[in-house]
Amino acid sequence: MKRPTLEAVAARAGVSRATVSRVVNGQSTVTPEIRDTVLRAVSELGYVPNSAARSLVTQRTDSIALVISEPATRVFSDDRLFSMVVRTVSSELESSDKQIVLMLASSPRGHERVERYISSGHVDGVLLLSMHGADPLPAALNRMGVPVVSYGRPAVAVALPYVDNDNVGGAGAAVRHLLATGRRRIATIAGPQDMIGGQDRLTGYRDALRDSDRRSIVAVGDFTRASGADAMRQLLEDDPALDAVFAANDEMAIGALRALRRAGRRVPDDVALVGFDDIEAAAYTDPPLTTVRQPIVEQATAMVRLLLTPAKDRVTDHIILPSELVIRESA
């Protein structure tokens, strides 16, 4: 009752193991007649190649790891981002018949697990989702000689191929939109400065303001809703006359929205508000949030392409995709 092997198929078809292997792997140096005989034996016995044996000799596994390296609390702060990435990566890999191994590395123990797993040759490549600049995992994976592509620019120290959205440009577009609609005192709630996204979005804000000779007004949050509310209160205290806010992500924007309402400011009449990411909830706020959308599908597609292109054939080791301003009612 155990699974048939190559040997069994060979015996049944009256040929050698090697010939069956050739047929199964689609080599053309087999007489059509024998080929048919073998294929018949294969389907009669219900033969399926043993993947462990195969990858033991080929050194390939036909699967890639999708590593999500974030504290458990944050990973899924945006379920849609996650599910869109997974869906896109999955369908993109389908054509090359590779599988996804999903690894959530939330704790240091998780990191160690991931490293062990990858270095035991389980996968042919790694897609790394890690928003945190200080994460040691990218460097570690890079060291073990497995192809790795990162979602989001990794910390400067690591030379890793990556795909990112245009954080600087997106933030700039948000600020320019505020300027274009006549806002004069534009503050920002920046993200944590140990994350690349946090840094770049602040840079985009600063650059855009500098171009227009406006003064920058900055508070720093940590990408959580509560920190957005706190930062907003801080900003209102510092500069009660501000008339616009660019929050570095939607969660903080939602926090800011509540803080503004509690402070008696109307949005967008008194204060215009723009977020970043276009998470699900952004469409349901009151008023619906104007925000910057990441091109998630395109990013995921690009990651897979980059991963599947052998390093030596690569034209570039990073791809930056444009972000799009989604104008709703908050600005």
The residues binding a copy of itself (CB under 8 A) are 3, 48-53, 55-56, 61, 63, 66, 72, 75-76, 79-80, 82-84, 86-87, 90-91, 94, 97, 99-104, 106, 110, 113, 116-117, 119-122, 280-281, 284
Nearest CA among 252, 264, 275 for reference residue 330 = 275
DSSP designation for 271: -
Between 288 and 295, whose beta carbon lies closer to a copy of itself? Answer: 288
CA distance to 58, 223, 263, 268, 330, per residue, from 249 (Å): 45, 6, 21, 18, 14
By a kind-dependent CB cut-off of 5 to 8 A, residue 5 interacts, out of DNA, a copy of itself, none, with: DNA
CB of 257 vs a copy of itself, minimal distance in Å: 13
Rule CB under 7 A: is residue 2 a binding residue for DNA? yes
CB of 35 vs DNA, minimal distance in Å: 7
Between 45 and 179, whose beta carbon lies closer to DNA? Answer: 45
DSSP designation for 265: -
CB of 116 vs DNA, minimal distance in Å: 13
Cis omega (within 30 of 0) on the bond before 147? no
CA distance to 252, 258, 270, 279, 289, per residue, from 285 (Å): 13, 10, 17, 11, 6
By a kind-dependent CB cut-off of 5 to 8 A, residue 11 interacts, out of DNA, a copy of itself, none, with: none
Q: Report the alpha-carbon distance of residue 140 to residue 133 in Å, rounded.
A: 14
Rule CB under 7 A: is residue 216 a binding residue for DNA? no
By a kind-dependent CB cut-off of 5 to 8 A, residue 203 interacts, out of a copy of itself, DNA, none, with: none
Of 11, 12, 26, 34, the one binding DNA by CB under 7 A: 34
CA torsion sign, 62 to 125 to 66 to 152?
A: negative
> Per the structure block, which two tokens stand in for 211?
């171009």
Count of beta carbons in the 10 Å neighbourhood of residue 181: 13
Of 16, 83, 99, 181, the one binding DNA by CB under 7 A: 16
CB of 82 vs a copy of itself, minimal distance in Å: 5
Q: Report the alpha-carbon distance of residue 269 to residue 327 in Å, rounded.
A: 15
Q: Which residues bind DNA (CB under 7 A)?
A: 2-3, 5-7, 14-19, 21-22, 24-25, 28-31, 34, 47, 49-50, 53-54, 56-58
